[in-house]
Amino acid sequence: MSEGDIVERVVRYIATEIVDDASSVEVEVVSDGEDSVVIEVRTAKRDMGRVIGRRGRVAKAIRTVAKAAGDEEGLDVQVEFLD
C-alpha cells in the first residue's frame, strides 16, 4: 500500500456516494512531507455544493473521517475541495 491509500479510498467512497455524477469524482493524494498528505477532491461543478454542504458541514465531516483514517496510517491529513 502506498502512503495515504486508506485515506484516499475512504474519501473517494464518501464523495462518490454523495454526488449525482460519481464518474466525475477525482481524488488525488499529494504528499506534503514525510508524515502528512493532502487529499485533493474534484467533482463536477454542479456537485461541489453537495460535497461542501450547508455552511461546510459535509466538508467538515469528510475532513473528520479522513483524519481518522489518516490516524490509522500515522499520517496528518488535510482535505482540499477544488473546482
| Kind of pairing between the strands at 26-31 and 76-82 | unpaired
| pLDDT range class, residue 1, cuts 50, 70, 90 | low
Task: Fold for 5-82, please state it.
Answer: GMP Synthetase; Chain A, domain 3 (3.30.300)
Q: pTM, whole model, 2 decimals?
A: 0.92
For 37, residues 6+ apart whose C-beta sits below 8 A from its C-beta are 3, 4, 7, 29, 30, 31, 70, 75, 76, 77, 78
Q: Where are the domains of the chain?
A: 5-82
pLDDT tens-digit readout, 22-65: 999 999 999 877 889 999 999 999 999 999 999 999 999 999 99
**Going edge to edge, which strands form the sheet with 36-42?**
26-31, 36-42, 76-82
